[in-house]
Chains A and B, each alone.
Chain A
Amino acid sequence: MIQASFEKRLPLFTLRVEFEVDAVTAILWGESGAGKTSILDCIAGIISPDRGHIALNGTTVYSSELAIDLPPRERHVGYVFQDYALFPHLNAEENVALALPSTERGRALEFLERFGIAHLRKRRPPVLSGGERQRLALARALATRPRVLLLDEPFSALDKATKEATYHEFLSLRDELGMSVILVTHSRLEAETLGNSIIELSDGATVPMVDYHAIATMRQGVPPCMPVN
């Protein structure tokens, strides 16, 4: 579970965030530059909010009141960055092994096998395809056994055919993991296919989270807070 209630001053506006995500996939939706990545960065501990409270599975990782601000390595957040941020000088296996404690480095291959890319273990990210890189990024993020998973537009670099296959894989993975996932996307199809609920970011503030599927059904498939194309 992710509980977030905080404010963060950004160069152009102040971000006001208020939401709670249970063991579901919440879609974080908003225009470019609305502050979606900043919200993920605050949860992961890469940047600090100005005030507020963030708890992951009941553990407070940030609280301005209690003067708590855990560094990223103590938050146990799996984070798949928008461009994956895979280390280009390390091969696939080393990318995953770096995330594992020294006694468990040998288990890197297991994670690659889980994502069907064990045969690519000696290849480095620059020579992998978009889909392979995305799987490697997921494998690396999950190797840390995170409490929650943050995905910043993980499917944006994939072609249409790869995307559809990856959606199915993601859904089965989500059911298997049973952890809270926040997925940032611009794609309506992605939101409809993968999300259970939606956090809309509008004018620098999150609007109260809604049960996306219930309302979408009521409105005959037109999801709330989303533009109708």
Chain B
Amino acid sequence: MMSGSLQPVVFSIGVATMATLVTLAVGLALARLLTYRRIYFQGFWETLILLPMVFPPTITGYLLLLLLGRRGPVGALLAGVGVQIVFTRMAAVIAAVFVSLPLMYQNCKAALVSVDTRFIDAARTLGLGEGRIFRRVTIPMATPGILSGVALSFARALGEFGATLMIAGNIPGRTQTIPLALYSAVESNRNAEANVYLAITVGLSFMVIGLVGLGERRAKALRGKDRVVGPKGGRSLLFNMGGEAP
């Protein structure tokens, strides 16, 4: 393996980690807003969040390019203060955020809905404010579902190709992620290098899923036998497919 080949690995992990942190904060906040508050045009806002999941990634990338490019509404504003987004590392993070947000949002929402409202009622009668109830009761009880969202979002961000290519380019040593580096390697017959990327991706995926599984089992053990009823959507997407309800 060439010495420079580790760069896409380090860069990809960095991009996926940053994107996951951003989607966790944004996805959880949006899920909270759209679960507990009555918002005008709720269906429209939810569709907007979920669109990147059904769009081909290149379409998402193109839309981001229109928005963040030098002539785009946001890009022009940023250019005015000397900030360029397109073809930078930041662009790779933005692309990863947009494509993984729907997964995080859906998992967080299902996890919040799965928390029995009786626990929230109990917390209210104990004198807790809504913010404290969310932090101390809802989030801990929704942790398994939220962790599924973290794993799926990280995996999606790690595997992002189309949107990244459109908005961040495929600049070796700068914006090249694992999927882009693998594509370039295969295209130029550097199969040994491609195989290394493949092995690293498989290893990383196992690690992420294993870590989240560990977290979920721990969270569920903490939740114990207590009654927590809710729709099936509250189950972990990773580990409860067709299994018994938590």
Contacts and interface: CB of A to CB of B under 8 A. Distances in A.
Chain A partners chain B = yes
Interface of A: 41, 44-46, 71-73, 75-79, 81, 83, 85-90, 98-99, 124-127, 140-141, 143-144
Interface string B215-226: 000010011111
B226 A86 contact: yes
Nearest to A88: B226
Contact of B125 (A44, A87, A124): A44
Nearest to A44: B125
In this complex, the interface size class of chain B, counting residues with CB under 8 Å from chain A, is: 20 to 34
B115 to A, nearest CB: 11
A141 B125 CA distance: 8
A69 to B, nearest CB: 13
Chain A interface mostly: loop
Between B118, B123, B126, B128, the greatest number of chain A beta carbons within 10 A of the residue's beta carbon is seen for B126
Contacts, number: 78
Contacts of B83: none
A127 B126 contact: no
B246 to A, nearest CB: 11
A34 B116 CA distance: 22
B36 to A, nearest CB: 14
Contact of A125 (B121, B123, B129, B224): B224
B122 A89 contact: no
A127 B136 CA distance: 20
A126 B224 contact: yes
Contacts of A79: 122, 125
Contacts of A99: 126-128
B55 interface: no
B28 interface: no
Contacts of B223: 88-89, 126
B124 A124 contact: no
A126 B129 CA distance: 25
Contacts of A72: 121, 124-125
Contacts of A44: 121, 125
A124 B224 contact: yes
B123 A127 contact: no
A86 B222 CA distance: 13
Interface string B34-62: 00000000000000000000000000000
B192 to A, nearest CB: 49
A39 to B, nearest CB: 15
Given A89-B140, A90-B140, 17 more contacts: A44-B125, A71-B124, A78-B125, A81-B121, A85-B116, A85-B118, A85-B119, A87-B119, A87-B122, A87-B140, A88-B141, A88-B223, A88-B226, A89-B141, A89-B223, A126-B225, A144-B127
Nearest to A79: B125
6 contacts: A72-B121, A79-B125, A83-B227, A88-B141, A88-B222, A127-B224
A84 to B, nearest CB: 8
B41 to A, nearest CB: 26
B127 A126 contact: no
